[in-house]
Structure 1
């Protein structure tokens, strides 16, 4: 391990901490101090900060200083800059210096330069060196060169692709499937493609879906095509799903998946089934919360999990996500690069995502959703946020405009100091009718879900659903033969 002058380490560490905290002015001052005291890492970090703000010239100047002071990762950046400018001779010199310093990226990129120049043997030696230094891409390249489009040393290709896949390289796992097929191992091909899909390779899930469909297993094909659409945005998979569901007579699913990539105009049947059951109770919670909190400016703290509205600080806040009024898209907070799962106010969302995964509800598991096909995309996002928040219990959802009105943030509250929603037979009928308008194809589920939420004793037939609450209130809802609400009544349950 390289030792740096004692006076350079402390400002370097403080500079890194300031950078992580977003205090770039302080970070730059400390990192400059560290470099001047003899720590080349200070110059490297200063180069990275300059690159992030788009000042490539300053970034390269700092990286060159760090490289000249012996930092191999900075030598790689200088080489990469030269290669980008078309100066391959300079790029090779810096890549070689980086590789000799023990940086895997230098050996890898030098190997690619030499391969492109026709020196395959030396390139392979460099790829082996990069592999020893920890580069999965180097093993992928070795597998590719050994494979030679199925005409080379397939045993060696399988070995290198497998090694790269073990280190998380999805492309290697995908190519490994073809090599195994060429070597007469069709089961091994599917195993490799399943690994590639789990590693996020954009073609693997589609290929598995295509294989399943050709084998006559439509259920497996649908599962893989759904993953292909959700995880990789593959248009062919969306079209296949639409065709498969249409042949089954499931027009709702066919429409949903056909629109998934171009702009949703409806929810998935799985989401409607989930959301409709809790919809009336969610509306009731919202009414109680809105009355308690009122209107006013909102401030929030994602670390303390607090939300301040109208001068009142509320606790148990979960940051759900955001809606863009510019692109009509919803972004879950866990998929927002500025936040992520590690933020205290985002961590509870894991329960929502896990529920979505268990029930195959795409709206709860896909990080970004295009809602532009809905008549009112903002309302569609609000409905989705409120329905998902019901999984967290608590009080309901608050939202506020951000970025000069271009977006909206959504928050869930679970503060025991806020009033709870109680069962009232008269308001219950209005709540269920309102929710039934939101989910017109799931009206029986709306009624059944609300009554069950309040612990009612439920009696159900084809014509009615009747619920008697523990407190004695009674609600009766009559339905048409096609499942729409026809009439409601409410009052006290009969004695005896």
Structure 2
């Protein structure tokens, strides 16, 4: 599977996890303890981590954590990125198996969102001088996004990246537990709580309008 198809399939649900994580962490400072295998946010939040990789803003490249042999990273923190490498080998997704490549091909955010969609874990981008560390958090509460936030997430996704809107919306709504009917020029979706969403597309397949009704809480 191409990386672009994999990204379109998983970006919606992965972005929903990032929105929920941002709500949880807020403005807390972060730190990582590699020997303990954990990340701390503020004085009250601590989660086990799995390392994903690093962006270098010096040469504009991505390096998978499993390929960063010079840093002596703890093997226990490389299980997730090793699993992604194996998944990439099976699916034929070179971005998950090539040890390093230019960020123009796929940057840390896109890679981390794909990883989130495949593994069910949110990620964190930790900036440092000259680059950024990407890692995934374990044990963060997870679940479907609230119906009232579905349109917000979809809007954020299609504004951030040039993507096939129908493919993204259909995958996201289905993954979130909505019953979806593809009616050609629009998607009609119903949530188990009775909420409905109608998405109308233009002649180029781009989202033109949202409609529907969200049930009150």
Question: Under a length normalisation based on structure 2, what TM-score does the superposition of the two structures give?
Answer: 0.88
Query: Per the alignment, do residues 294 and 423 of structure 1 end up closer, same or farther by CA in structure 2, a change over 3 Å counting?
Result: closer
Residue of 298, 308, 312 corresponding to 2:40: 308
SS in 2 for 1:369: strand
Q: Point out where structure 1 has 5 or more consecutive residues left out of the alignment.
A: 1-268
Per-residue Cα deviation, 1:17-64 (whole angstroms, up to 9, x for no partner): xxxxxxxxxxxxxxxxxxxxxxxxxxxxxxxxxxxxxxxxxxxxxxxx
Shift of 1:344: 0.9
- 1:294 is aligned to 26
- Within 2, Cα distance between the matches of 1:355 and 1:474? 35
- 1:47 is aligned to none
- May I ask how many residue pairs the two structures share in their alignment? 214
Q: Are the aligned partners of 1:303 and 1:344 in contact in 2 as well (CA < 8 Å)?
A: no
What is the correspondence of 1:1-40 to structure 2 with a 5 Å cutoff? none
Q: Are the aligned partners of 2:144 and 2:177 in contact in 1 as well (CA < 8 Å)?
A: no
Matched, 1:458 2:180: yes
- 2:16 is aligned to 284
Residue of 48, 58, 62 corresponding to 1:326: 58
Residue of 421, 433, 445 corresponding to 2:155: 433
Superposition misfits of 4+ residues, deviation over 4 angstroms = none
What is the correspondence of 1:160-179 to structure 2 with a 5 Å cutoff? none
- Within 2, Cα distance between the matches of 1:426 and 1:412? 26
Measured on the aligned residues, the alpha-carbon RMSD in Å equals 2.2
Matched, 1:354 2:101: no
Residue of 109, 124, 137 corresponding to 1:413: 137
- 1:107 is aligned to none
Shift of 1:389: 2.7
- 1:399 is aligned to 125
- 1:270 is aligned to 2
User: RCO (CA 8 Å, sep 6+): is it higher in 1 or 2?
Assistant: 2
- Greater percentage in helix: 1
Question: Under a length normalisation based on structure 1, what TM-score does the superposition of the two structures give?
Answer: 0.40
- Within 2, Cα distance between the matches of 1:344 and 1:301? 13
- 1:368 is aligned to 100
- Greater percentage in strand: 2
Q: Which has the larger Rg?
A: 1
- Within 1, Cα distance between the matches of 2:113 and 2:72? 20
- Within 1, Cα distance between the matches of 2:184 and 2:98? 37
Query: Per the alignment, do residues 381 and 280 of structure 1 end up closer, same or farther by CA in structure 2, a change over 3 Å counting?
Result: same
Matched, 1:386 2:108: no
